[in-house]
Structure 1
């Protein structure tokens, strides 16, 4: 079977608002107030908790940045898990595209650098977990993206051949993962970092989920 594997944050859903809220909870605990802005810092949010903490502490010119990141990262994850779907929304047409791909006979799964438990919780809260045959998170295996093994595992868990999959993503990490795996990569242009995706020269760019099934048909022909 051929399979289509999706990244989660910034690809299937805009999770940046809830991620930034969790990071700002950490900065408030430090006595600094809300350091990150939901609009200006959305692209950093989609790179994960450590990236947000790093950016905020840099703005605060904090001397012990590394130590505070290690201390507050689990605090951030706890805050995020407690309010994981307040601002998050699926991108328009994403689930319709997923259902069309499944109807066409593709296995469909998720490979994300979000911890598996949080990813599972978010997808359940959004009501779409059962739409995906696989879910591989940052801590599912001993390695994470851009190592290709999580992508291969996500494909295998759909019943697919890992060599015959496509990765849909929104970042250089996704692009590097697909390159390491030797499979095509589609990068979305509607996320916060969408304007930077063309420079990575993926096999395809996606600006509307309505176009995805036809695009996958060409890439996996």
Structure 2
């Protein structure tokens, strides 16, 4: 029976931080605040989502600047619009992704995506990056009524791709992915080439992934 490899998207398959931060900064500029987030220094914040970026920026506003009621919801909608219009300007796949996907498929593994990015944006990004057809399914933040770390999106990503949860594992980059894997009762490999680097080992994943070149061998160990 084929095994299934489930991928997170942002910070795992692709470095999306530049385009995410650009969208947040567009919201701040619309309020006359300028660019409050740094394209490199704040990369880790970007991988915690749109509202996390907005709140981080609000925390850096001048002390005399007050936001009107409902500003965060308004800016979040604006952020999604900006991001959707420029979703793959700075975004790049991490080194070795496409070769690893090819090797996993050649080994007979099922590939699928489970992300907390809104489904339409995730679909658009995967198409822009030229890898959507590599995955048997794609579950986004709003595909189901719940999102990671609830295990149900993970389970849906596996089952819709034709796999079984008991013969699957997750590749991710955050504590949310660690918790998702634990809730689903599967192992997780966390990448150590993201903004946290080797410090991600603090989450005690079953494996650290230093480069995508190492993933096919890990899949053989865990799924064969």
Q: TM-score range by the shorter chain?
A: over 0.9
Q: CA deviation at 1:196?
A: 2.5
Distance 1:206 1:97, change over 3 A: same
Q: How does 1:72-111 map to 2 (within 5 A)?
A: 72-111=75-114
Contact 1:4 1:106 in 2 (8 A): yes
Aligned residues: 221
Query: Residues of 1 paired with 2:183 and 2:69: CA distance?
Result: 29
* TM-score under structure 1 length normalisation: 0.96
Q: Residue in 2 aligned with 1:23?
A: 24
Q: Residue in 2 aligned with 1:10?
A: 11
What runs of 5+ residues in structure 2 fail to find an aligned partner? none
Does residue 131 (structure 1) correspond to residue 134 (structure 2)? The answer is: yes
Q: Residue in 1 aligned with 2:223?
A: 220
Q: Residue in 2 aligned with 1:170?
A: 173
Query: Residues of 2 paired with 1:157 and 1:65: CA distance?
Result: 43
Q: CA deviation at 1:193?
A: 1.9
CA deviation digits over 1:142-174, x for unaligned, max 9?
A: 000000110110001111002221000000000
CA deviation digits over 1:77-113, x for unaligned, max 9?
A: 0000000000000001011111111111111000000
* TM-score under structure 2 length normalisation: 0.95
SS of residue matched to 1:197: helix
Query: Residues of 2 paired with 1:66 and 1:94: CA distance?
Result: 43
Q: CA deviation at 1:66?
A: 7.8
- Higher mean Cα deviation, 62-71 or 204-213? 62-71
What runs of 5+ residues in structure 1 fail to find an aligned partner? none
- Supply the RMSD in Å over aligned alpha carbons: 1.3
